[in-house]
Each structure stands twice: as structure tokens, then as C-alpha cells.
């Protein structure tokens, strides 16, 4: 317990840093994921192509490489932002590709007659998608989206290698101070467990409330 009690402030800062990264990156991933899923099923060919390229590139790019591209590449083009913002962009964009595919699989479960009925009532594509299709699709993909955001929380550990304050990075400070590295990692693991179990509980509640009965 001494490792935790003596360094509670350090652990708390890292824990809050990971929570902040997870929350902001999750919001960005959900927004971009919904947008890209809309592009993937749009009647406009250029939008479908853009969505396909977005998903293909990000899903097949190692996250560490994406961090290097964003944190070290964008400043060369004149875009200078805090490293934490760059980390949120990298995490959010990477995860959005997986959110998009989860949503697209959910869209495919919605009967085609739903969309045809909406169009027969004079609704536009965007209205059909936002009002009829996506709400039903989201209900069927709540569990995979929850799992994807849990993975995002764990992937945020990569940000520590780029001078971003997060939970895993606390081991460096404590190791330099001579604390037992095993117990340091035990408390770090407890911190991640708290975050992931919280996300799991939220999505379990959403699934019970709005999920499709199996």
C-alpha cells in the first residue's frame, strides 16, 4: 500500500489523464464513426470511396505509427497543438474506423423495407438514415461499440511515450524514485480496471435499456 499512499497524487494525475484521453477520444471516435458509416452507405460514389479509404487505411495502420504521424508529422505542416490534443486526434481517428464498421454491420441488419418505406413518405437520404436506420442500427451494435471503447481506453497507454500525462507513464517516475516496480504496475492495472469496468457498466446499462432482445 505504501506505493499507492506515498504517491497517490502521481497516480491520481495519471488516472485523470487517462480518463480525459478516453472521454475526448471516445466522443471524437463516435462522431467520426457515425459520419463514416453514413458515407459508407451513401448513394454518392465519392462519399462511399472516401469512407472506404478512411476505414481501410486506419484499420490497417499500427496505432503507434499513427501517433508518430500525427504528433510528429502535423507540426511540420504548421499545425502546432498540445501533445494531448494530438493524442486525442490519433486515438479518436483510429478508433472511428472500428466504430464505423460496427455501425455498418448494424445498418445491414435493418430490413431494407424500412428505408424504402421512409423514402416512399418523401424523406431524404439523410433523414432516412438519421431518423429511421441509424437508431435501429445502434441498438444492435451497443456491445461491440462498448468493446471498442474499452480497447480505446487501453490503447491510450501509447500516449505516455509521447510526453502525454496518463496512467501507465507513472511507472517511469516511481521507478526513478526507487519504488517496487511490480507493485507500481499492480496499482496501474487497478486504475485501468476501474476505467474499463466503468465503460462496461455503462454499455451494459445501455444494452439493457435499448439493446435488441435476442
Percent residues over pLDDT 70 in the chain: 91
Q: What pLDDT is stored for residue 58 in this prediction?
A: 94
The structure's pTM equals: 0.88
142, 211 Cβ separation under 8 angstroms: yes
* Residues 41-84 pLDDT 10s: 888 889 999 999 999 999 999 999 999 888 888 888 888 888 88
pLDDT in tens, 6-25: 666 777 888 898 999 999 99
DSSP string, 52-78: HHHHHHHHTS-HHHHHHIIIIIGGGGT
CA separation for the pair 40, 49 (Å, rounded):
8
Non-local (6+) Cβ contacts of 206 within 8 A are 142, 146
Q: Which long-range contacts (CB under 8 A, 24 or more apart) does 37-44 make?
A: 37/99, 37/100, 37/101, 37/103, 37/104, 37/107, 37/134, 37/137, 38/126, 38/129, 38/134, 40/100, 40/104, 41/104, 41/107, 41/129, 42/125, 43/125
- Residue 14 has what pLDDT? 85
Weakest mean pLDDT among 91-95, 132-136, 147-151: 132-136
29, pLDDT greater than 90: yes
pLDDT greater than 70 at residue 39: yes
Instruction: Label residues 86-105 b or e (16+ Cβ within 10 Å = b).
Output: bbbbbbbbbbbbbbbbbbbe
Amino acid at each position: 500500500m505504501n506505493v499507492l499512499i506515498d504517491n497517490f497524487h502521481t497516480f491520481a494525475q495519471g488516472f485523470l489523464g487517462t480518463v480525459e484521453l478516453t472521454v475526448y477520444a471516445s466522443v471524437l471516435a463516435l462522431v467520426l464513426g457515425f459520419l463514416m458509416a453514413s458515407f459508407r452507405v451513401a448513394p454518392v460514389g465519392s462519399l462511399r470511396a472516401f469512407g472506404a479509404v478512411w476505414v481501410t487505411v486506419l484499420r490497417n495502420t499500427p496505432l503507434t505509427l499513427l501517433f508518430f504521424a500525427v504528433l510528429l508529422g502535423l507540426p511540420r505542416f504548421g499545425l502546432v497543438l498540445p501533445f494531448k490534443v494530438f493524442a486525442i486526434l490519433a486515438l479518436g481517428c483510429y478508433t472511428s474506423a472500428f466504430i464505423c464498421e460496427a455501425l455498418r454491420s448494424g445498418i445491414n441488419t435493418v430490413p431494407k423495407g424500412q428505408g424504402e418505406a421512409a423514402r416512399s413518405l418523401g424523406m431524404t437520404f439523410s433523414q432516412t438514415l438519421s431518423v429511421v436506420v441509424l437508431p435501429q442500427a445502434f441498438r444492435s451494435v451497443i456491445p461491440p461499440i462498448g468493446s471498442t471503447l474499452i480497447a480505446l481506453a487501453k490503447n491510450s497507454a501509447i500516449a505516455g511515450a509521447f510526453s502525454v500525462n496518463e496512467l501507465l507513464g507513472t511507472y517511469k517516475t516511481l521507478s526513478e524514485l526507487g519504488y517496487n516496480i511490480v507493485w507500481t504496475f499492480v496499482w496501474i492495472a487497478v486504475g485501468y480496471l476501474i476505467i474499463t469496468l466503468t465503460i462496461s457498466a455503462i454499455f451494459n446499462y445501455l444494452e439493457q435499456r435499448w439493446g435488441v432482445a435476442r
